[in-house]
With several copies, the nearest count.
Chain A
Amino acid sequence: MVLDVNWTVKWLTLCAQAMAEHRVELIELDRAIGDSDHGENMDRGFQAVLDKLSDSPPETPGAALKLTAMTLMSKVGGAAGPLYGTAFLRAATSLGDSPEIAPAAWAGALTAARDGIVARGKAEPGDKTMVDAWTPAAEAASQAAADGSPDALTVLVAAAEAAEAGAVATDPLVARKGRASYLGERSAGHRDPGAASSALILRAAVKAAA
């Protein structure tokens, strides 16, 4: 499996599909500890990404991610818009204009994305935000990429599984960043919607390679 621009476009297409499919679920998660818009925002944003991708098909994975970043930034709004926008922009930058993403580059892109989110949002792991999905994902991908000469799929799977576990692990946390923090102790017992959507994005990367 080669992670080229076709794979990237397929990944982003599957992201859009995942957001549409899980729109209500993400709204429900946000309803419990936020303001009921996360699923709507992500769905609107990735639908716009689809439009952009077909309007001006990108030539490289990096270009596809940059287009995604700009579109999410201008269509998602809320906290997630700038955070995902920054994440995709940093990932795009880290990939440069190479035509393919090597396993180690993928790990590097995830790390850059995570660092971008942290730079913008100032959240730490354990604050019950999307950082809790991206941090283990970036770490798992880095570890898998460092592990001999892995194929791309292995690295993608490692990241997705870590993100999913990270999202689940936000359940008992008390939020210290974002809207859920206003609830104080009442935020415990609910999954962070941004961590959940992050896991969906990284799972879509696996599906695009399957």
Chain B
Amino acid sequence: MKKLINDPKSVVDESVQGFGQAHADLVTVSADPTYITRKDAPVSGKVGLVSGGGSGHEPLHAGFVGRGMLDAAVPGAVFTSPTPDQILPATLAVNSGAGVVHIVKNYTGDVLNFETAGELAEAEGVNVRTVLVNDDVAVEDSLYTAGRRGVGGTVLVEKIAGAAAERGDGLDAVASIGERVNSNVRTMGVALTACTVPHAGSPSFDLAEDEIEIGIGIHGEPGRHRIAMENADGITDRLLEPVLTDLRITSGDKVLLFVNGMGGTPLSELYIVYRRAAQVLADRGVAVERSLVGNYITALEMQGCSISVLRLDDELTELWDAPVHTAALRWGV
């Protein structure tokens, strides 16, 4: 394992410190317990947005703290959801009185820890709503009752719910916009290589030079099945098809197409995937109205990508376009 780190145990702390220093104009970093808040939090009258989860998915979530997106991010250890004693103070710190929305990726650990923190916050008089993100079509939830994972769609939920909060929507409205995004987005991912969790020291799975994992999440876990390596167009088709089917995308639909890198794949390859996906959508009469290409929700240095499709309506498009000013996503300001 070769990494630009000092000690596996200090990876998250040091990285978050560096993040805070590099973006001191945008965020405040609280240590012990660790969480990151928007510099001007709490924003008077605004619903607060808190997300969090295990580290190792950067820029998610800290990179999305700022105007028009999250008010706070709560990073756990690498691939380990944060604890209520982090989530609670972050929730309190961004509550202006208008209540707080927790955006939670659907993993047992995240759900349980946010649930506890939410109860504790309610006990302290904060209204909390939870938006559960579970956009991963690789998991067939009928059989496997932990349900689908929250993956690429999380970025879109955070951006769009963040815009709704910024324009002044109330607590229930922000949560319901978040849920609307979640029910209109699906994602599927592929890994070309594994990743190495710093404290584990060896790759999360072993993959031969001619094999890839289809249906992976963002935690270096193996996928649903392993297949022989294919070319980019073939892989793109494999990822896109179940997404479109599950979302029942039909001719005339307007969508946002999000090609996300898992951390170790060059941007140039993501655009090759984007090209094919855009082509397939065009062939089916689907209008790609917005796009996002890059490393936004990652699994350390894993090579691979995920494709997310979000069905747009006018309001979602408007909220997507609304100004956002965070370390990792910025426009209109």
Contact = CB atoms under 8 A, between A and B. Distances in A.
A and B, direct touch (CB closer than 8 Å): yes
B127 interface: no
Interface string B129-163: 00000000011100111100100000000000000
Contacts of A58: none
Interface in A90-129: 120-122, 127
Nearest to B143: A184
Interface residues of A, number: 35
A77 B200 contact: no
Interface residues of B, number: 40
Interface of A: 27, 31, 33-37, 40-41, 44, 73-83, 120-122, 127, 175-179, 181-184, 186
Contacts, number: 124
Nearest to B221: A35
A44 B108 CA distance: 19
A78 B144 contact: no
A81 B85 CA distance: 12
B19 interface: no
B265 interface: no
Given A31-B205, A41-B77, A121-B108, A82 B113 contact: yes
Interface of B: 33, 54, 76-85, 107-109, 112-113, 115-116, 138-140, 143-146, 149, 197, 199-200, 202, 204-205, 217, 219-222, 224-225
Given A79-B109, A179-B108, A35 B76 contact: no
Q: Across chains A and B, which 10 residue pairs bring their CB atoms closest together, nearest first?
A: A82-B112, A35-B219, A78-B109, A79-B109, A36-B200, A79-B108, A74-B85, A181-B144, A77-B80, A35-B79
Contacts of B220: 35-36
Name the residue among A76, A78, A80, A175 with the largest chain B CB count within 10 angstroms: A78
Looking at chain A's contact residues, is the secondary structure mostly helix, strand, loop, or mixed? helix
Nearest to B140: A184
A40 B84 contact: no
A78 B54 contact: yes
B221 A34 contact: yes
Contacts of B115: 82
B143 A35 contact: no
Given A74-B85, A176-B144, A183 B222 contact: yes
Given A74-B84, A184-B143, 7 more contacts: A34-B219, A35-B197, A35-B219, A35-B221, A73-B116, A75-B83, A79-B107
Given A40-B199, A40-B200, A82-B113, A182 B146 contact: yes
18 contacts: A31-B202, A34-B219, A35-B204, A36-B200, A37-B54, A37-B79, A40-B80, A41-B77, A78-B109, A79-B81, A79-B107, A79-B112, A82-B84, A127-B145, A181-B144, A181-B145, A182-B146, A182-B224
Contacts of B140: 184
Contacts of A122: 145
B221 A76 contact: no
A37 B139 contact: no
A182 B84 contact: no
B83 A73 contact: yes
A35 B82 CA distance: 15
A77 B116 contact: no
Contacts of B76: 77-78
B222 A186 contact: yes
Contact of B199 (A27, A81, A83): A27
A42 to B, nearest CB: 11
Contacts of A40: 77, 80, 199-200
A184 B224 contact: yes
A176 B220 CA distance: 19
Given A79-B109, A81-B109, A176-B145, A183 B224 contact: yes
Nearest to A27: B200
A55 to B, nearest CB: 15
A178 B81 CA distance: 13
A50 to B, nearest CB: 16
B114 to A, nearest CB: 10
Nearest to A74: B85
A34 B108 CA distance: 12
